[in-house]
Amino acid sequence: MPKQPFSLPEFYLPYPARLNEHVESARAHSKEWAWEMGILGPLDDGRIVWTEQEYDAHDYALLCAYTHPDSSGPVLDTVTDWYVWVFYFDDHFLELFKRTGDLDGAQSYLDRLALFMPVDLDAGYPEATNPVERGLADLWARTVPAMSRQWRERFAANTKALLEESLWELVNINAGRIANPIEYVEMRRRVGGAPWSSDLVEYAADAEVPAEIARARPVNVLRETFADAVHLRNDLFSYEREVGDEGELSNAVLVFEDFFGHDTQTAAELTNDLLSSRLYQFDHTAVTEVPLLLAEHGIGADGAAKVAAWIKGLQDWQSGGHEWHMRSSRYMNSEAGLRYSPSGLGTSAARLFPSPQNLGFGRFRAYTHVPFQKVGPTTIPEIDPPYPLRLSPHLEHARRENNAWSMAKGMGVPGSLWTERQLKGFDFPLCSAGLDPDATPDELTLSSHWLTWGTYIDDWFPRVYAAAKDPLGARAFAIRLHDFMPLDLGPTPPPLNPVEAGLADLWRRTAAPMSERQRAGFHSAVSVMIDAMAWEVGNLVQHRLPDPVDYVEMRRATFGSQLTMFLARIAREKDIPDEFFESRTLLSINNAVSDFGMFTNDLFSYQKEIEFEDELHNLVLILENFLNIGRDEAVTTVARLMADRLAQFEHLVRVELPVVADRLDLDSAARSALEGYLDELRDWMVAIIHWHRRTSRYVESELNPLAHLSAPRSLTGTSALRPPGAHASDAARPVAVPAARPSAVSAAPPAAEHRPPPVPLYPRGLGTAAAHLPRLHS
């Protein structure tokens, strides 16, 4: 027997595997069903995707019996049929299209499958023409009537994504292209099927997540960490078959080999480290975020029990999926016994002396960062994108207007987070002038105001709530800010601080021209950004470095990415159809550009955040911790990620975007609008770097003289906290404001400690929420 390409690493196995008692009946039923659907037997052209011997060796009934140990016999039969179908689809698609590179045929094949997933129960199906269509029609009719419409919509969307992302794999195989790590994790979720599996857990465990929280961050994180762990585990076991036999390029081990230049064994160990990290994040979210979510939304005992059963079902899936991978002939496991002893049911519990990895000791690394380390200036690598810089001729006008507006709202006045000198030195209008060089004077001013406010609130949360160890106060403040964004443009409460005063003004000026639908979307986008900032406070209070994947995804929110995309969409929706804006390709383009910008900020702000602020949300620091490397190597890695994200942007524009435009049959006006949108993204990347090189916000000489000053007195509840025009009586309102924790915020450490106070004097980076605001009225 040929030697395996690497030895399987030692996995984090926190949950024991259990076997469903109905495994034999499910095995018999699903084999009969596979013959009935045509999954077993020859296709119309005589080709055979699976022989009966191959089907038996895969043993999908064993997979489902391990991953759904508590399901009844009939439910286990249905779930097993679903997994037979989805694995068959993967191999059927491989046989028909991946081996031949037939993109047009693949698109037609996938388009038809959507017709077999109607959300309405009384809708019919077209006549099935192949085993995949027959199986999907049968399973849909057997499954969805037991679930709510909201669940059916989610399940249909996830099934469609699972099917359609196979086309992305095909495009990359044809291009001979290996994804970058961030791109790979995002795309693997879609094509790998684990979000789809998490939906089936709701069905199998009779544990449908209440609709009011089904799309909330903690629930999404549970789905995503579950998905990533399932996929990374599968990549380790399937590397030999996928990369060696099938020529597959979508495998995390291969991705890490390519990106880091690692040998296969090292890449496999790193894949397992990321797998463990995602499981740690799952545990952390379930314990620390879900209970607060249930309380905040008033979910009763029945709903909470459903959520708990769903979480338990996801845990069962992890342990059962691992056990199946260890046994199935589909995967690389012939040498598993060398690393797993004893094996079989309850492997993790049977170890007499569990290793640190098995016990999850790796999770504690996230809490070991030493604050206020002297790191010195960061040498910035060559990261400039190859696009020309253009600046608005109205820059000086915007500077004057922005300074006056900011101080009128309480930003930059004595006692606020910033001094007037800092406000001018930060120079947010310079950033706006590059983001939209064609803006009118009023448009550029509005954009500058949003950037100023977005950065001020990004400073406010860590300065006020993290310093006071008050994550609940941060959440309450985030909820209160919704009152300053009324969908009907009605009255707002009296503002108690510059954040509220600025938002009330900007909301009315920006949302007034929008339709009701646009205004609702705008409200959602701003709320996502605010909620993400409150989430960061929790990590700071726990002194916990976030999981690298979770960091990237939440940093997009604090960086204003969703808001940026939404405003860009409004500006062009009269020319470009909604389906284009909702396409995976455009989402990937926006994410790549956003990552380029926020990684730029992490490089330039590293010294400010690590040496002077005790900030944890910085990718350089997170990679130092996760990869166990030094600062310089982490900086180089971030720069490499930026280069790869930029290359991905160009690849998407050159290769994938034309496919989407042709499929949607975009006319010349739409294609012209699309090109204008892409030009704005290029302006955005250039402007972000240009601003970072010229702002005073990250200059060491501006940081050192103020490193040991105490917190502004306004943060102890004096009148300077309130914006001009606010009355002292307003402060009596029961709202989460800084005065709630005066001693914690203003307290400085003893002089003998010789370190900065636990209050960041230069809180963190650029809030780019308004990157496309100037286009709103064009």
* 13 backbone dihedrals φ, ψ, rounded to 5°: -125, 80
Q: What is the 3-state secondary structure (H, E, C) of 428-470?
A: HHHHHHHHCCCCCHHHHHHHHHHHHHHHHHHHHHHHHHHCCCC
Q: Are 387 and 693 in contact (CB under 8 A)?
A: no
Burial class (CB within 10 angstroms; exposed 0-12, middle 13-18, buried 19+) of 385: buried
Q: Is the pLDDT of residue 4 over 50?
A: yes
CB 201 within 8 A of CB 317: yes
- The answer to whether 236 and 253 have CB atoms below 8 angstroms apart is yes
Q: What is the pLDDT of residues 719-749, one digit of tens each?
A: 334 455 554 444 333 333 333 322 222 222 3
Q: Is the pLDDT of residue 123 over 50?
A: yes
**389 pLDDT more than 80:** yes
Backbone angles phi, psi at 722, to 5 degrees: -85, 145
Q: In this model, does residue 329 exceed pLDDT 60?
A: yes
Q: Which pLDDT does position 285 carry in this prediction?
A: 95
Q: Is the pLDDT of residue 430 over 60?
A: yes
- Supply the mean pLDDT for the chain: 85
Cα-Cα-Cα-Cα torsion 169, 172, 178, 179, nearest 10 degrees, comes to: -70
Which residue type sits at 756?
A: P
Taking CA atoms, 706 is separated from 391, 422, 702, 709, 743, in Å, by 32, 11, 7, 5, 21
Cα 44 to Cα 47, 49, 130, 253, 520: the distances in Å are: 7, 11, 8, 37, 50
Contacts of 449 (CB under 8 A, 6+ apart): 402, 405, 406, 502, 505, 506, 770
Residues 287 and 23: beta-carbon distance below 8 Å: no
Q: What is the pLDDT of residue 770?
A: 37
**pLDDT tens-digit readout, 541-576:** 999 999 999 999 999 988 887 777 787 788 888 889
Say if residue 47's pLDDT is above 50. Answer: yes
| R_g over Cα of the chain | 27
Q: Is residue 763 helix, strand or coil?
A: coil
Alpha carbon distance 477, 500 (integer Å): 10
Residues 6+ apart with CB under 8 A from 422: 412, 696, 697, 702
Specify the 3-state DSSP secondary structure of 19. coil
pLDDT in tens, 393-424: 999 999 999 999 999 999 999 999 999 999 99
How many Å apart are CA 250 and CA 263, to the nearest integer? 17
Is the per-residue pLDDT at 116 higher than 80?
Answer: yes
What distance in Å separates the CA atoms of residue 352 and residue 734, rounded to the nearest whole number? 55
pTM score of the predicted model: 0.85
Q: What's 383's DSSP letter?
A: -
Summarize the confidence of residues 212-223 as an average pLDDT: 94
Query: Crossing angle of helices 217-239/252-260, nearest 10°?
Result: 80
Rounded CA separation 40/55 (Å): 8
Q: How many residues does the chain have?
A: 778
Q: What torsion, rounded to 10 degrees, do the Cα atoms 649, 236, 76, 62 define? A: 160
- Distance (Å, whole) CA 743 – CA 545: 26
Do 726 and 413 form a contact (C-beta atoms < 8 A)?
Answer: no
Residue position matching structure tokens 């079989």: 344
C-alpha–C-alpha distance, residues 503 and 458, integer Å: 13
- Distances, alpha carbon 233 to alpha carbons 192, 324, 402, 425, 596, in Å: 11, 11, 51, 49, 28
How many CB atoms neighbour CB 691 within 10 A?
Answer: 26
Q: How confident is the model at residue 628 (pLDDT cuts 50, 70, 90)?
A: very high
pLDDT at 170: 67
What proportion of the chain, given as a percentage, has pLDDT over 90? 67
DSSP notation for 552-599: HHHHHHHTTHHHHHHHHHHHHTTTS-HHHHTSHHHHHHHHHHHHHHHH
In the numeric block, the tokens 């989460």 are attached to 736
How confident is residue 755, by pLDDT bands cut at 50, 70 and 90? very low
Contacts for 471 with CB less than 8 Å, ≥ 6 apart: 465, 534, 537, 538, 541
| Residue 209 CA neighbour count, 13 Å, CB half | 27
Cα–Cα distance measured from residue 617 to residue 542, given in angstroms and rounded to the nearest whole number: 13
User: 84 burial class (0-12, 13-18, 19+ CB within 10 angstroms)?
Assistant: buried
